[in-house]
Amino acid sequence: MDTLQVRGLHFTYPKSGTRAIDGIDFDIREGEIFGFLGPSGAGKSTTQRILIRLLQGYGGEITYRGRPLSSYDNGFYQDIGVSFEMPISFSKLTALENLAFFQRLYAQHADVEALMKRVGLWDDRDKKAGEYSKGMKIRLNFVRALLNNPKVLFLDEPTNGLDPVNANIMKEMVREFRDAGGTVFLTSHIMGDVDELCDRVAFIVDGRIREMDTPRSLKIKYGKRTVRVEYREDGAVVPAEFTFDDIRTERFASLLQEKEIETIHSGETTLEDIFIKVTGVRLHEE
Ligand SMILES: Nc1ncnc2c1ncn2[C@@H]1O[C@H](COP(=O)(O)OP(=O)(O)OP(=O)(O)O)[C@@H](O)[C@H]1O
Ligand SMILES: [Mg+2]
């Protein structure tokens, strides 16, 4: 079953002359991690804000679990967990006080101690949120998203601003959430994370979806069906390229048997290259 179905969605911010979302269709299946990728300003956060009912006045149809999203009351928020692009918390309250405040809004309660330990914040639980570092705020925000044992998680750039160790912990937690039956919508520019995490991805550019598939299928579609070999001959390194049809030939077999091979690479592409091809935008990653 699809958790969310989006049909012909379009949205224009008040006072803006152009559509931020310009007619998109996609489904998020139950139990999958669905990645929404695209350059800055493409409409990723806007789409998330619409899906979590923060923005009204959109055109098109959205159904959640088979019913129009607009027909749900605030009980919808019992079902979902959200982590925003900019972490929000009450800066004068401690981390635990923040979590206790938000937990009161929910019927279901996750184990705060276990979550805080998992993200490495338990020792800093009595520090004021305002005195947290950027990465600590992001982690606290992620715990907040899980407070109500949600069925669906919406994560806007979840690993952005985290060091690699904490990013890995978060990715592990997102995968576990999915493996336990949860559904995830996430946005990101970090193609490595997306490749590791997402079951399916959509590329959005200027409010339109340009491409949508599994990372594997996209790599096959955009990759070259070739094998590149470098071998040594008379002291020099000689490059050679074979198509997938060529590798069945005697020439390829004898090269592997007789030459001293230095490197072998397939022409498989990366999601980063696909991002550049599909969006026409080069990624600037630190
Ligand atoms: N509150 C707002 N009022 C008016 N226009 C907005 C508002 N928020 C976003 N926009 C516009 O909507 C478009 C999509 O913005 P959005 O924040 O969804 O992009 P994004 O894909 O999340 O980008 P980023 O990767 O930088 O977070 C942009 O043209 C942006 O200027
Ligand atoms: Mg955004």
State pLDDT tens for residues 40-78. 999 999 999 999 999 999 999 999 999 999 999 999 999
Residue 94: predicted pLDDT: 97
Binning pLDDT at 50, 70 and 90, where does residue 286 land?
A: very low
The bound ligand whose nearest atom lies closest to the alpha carbon of 44 is 1
Closest Cα to atom 3 of ligand 1: 13
Q: What amino acid occupies position 23? A: G
Q: Please state, in angstroms and as integers, the Cα–Cα distance from residue 140 to each residue in 97, 173, 240, following that order.
A: 12, 14, 52
Which of 19, 22, 45, 159 has most ligand 1 atoms within 8 Å of its beta carbon, as the pocket-test mutant?
A: 45
Domain range list for the chain? 2-219, 224-267
Closest Cα to atom 4 of ligand 1: 13
Give me ligand 2 centre to Cα 234, in Å.
Answer: 55
Residue 225: predicted pLDDT: 86
Asked whether the beta carbons of 43 and 203 are under 8 A apart, the reply is: no
For 243-281, write each residue's pLDDT tens digit: 988 888 898 999 999 999 999 998 888 899 899 999 887
Residues 14 and 19: their CA atoms lie apart, in Å, by 10
Pocket of ligand 1 contains residue 229 by CB under 6 Å = no
Residue 128 has pLDDT above 80, yes or no: yes
Residue 232 has pLDDT above 90, yes or no: yes
Query: Encoding tokens for residue 33?
Result: 């991690």
Pocket of ligand 1 contains residue 40 by CB under 6 Å = yes
Residues 231 and 261: their CA atoms lie apart, in Å, by 4
Cα-Cα-Cα-Cα dihedral sign, residues 151, 213, 202, 53:
negative
Binning pLDDT at 50, 70 and 90, where does residue 283 land?
A: low
The whole-chain average pLDDT of the chain stands at 93
Pocket of ligand 1 contains residue 188 by CB under 6 Å = no
Residue 284: predicted pLDDT: 57
φ and ψ at residue 34, rounded to 5 degrees = -105, 120
- Residue whose token pair is 């937690």: 173
Binning pLDDT at 50, 70 and 90, where does residue 88 land?
A: confident
Could you tell me the pTM of the whole model?
A: 0.89
Asked whether the beta carbons of 68 and 3 are under 8 A apart, the reply is: no
Asked whether the beta carbons of 51 and 43 are under 8 A apart, the reply is: no
Asked whether the beta carbons of 226 and 241 are under 8 A apart, the reply is: yes
Q: Please state, in angstroms and as integers, the Cα–Cα distance from residue 26 to each residue in 1, 133, 216, 229, 282, following that order.
A: 13, 36, 18, 40, 25
CATH class of 2-219: alpha beta
DSSP string, 91-121: TTSBHHHHHHHHHTT-SS---HHHHHHHTT-
Residue 274: predicted pLDDT: 92
Give me ligand 1 centre to Cα 7, in Å.
Answer: 20
For 147-191, write each residue's pLDDT tens digit: 999 999 999 999 998 999 999 999 999 999 999 999 999 999 888
pLDDT over 90 percentage in the chain = 82
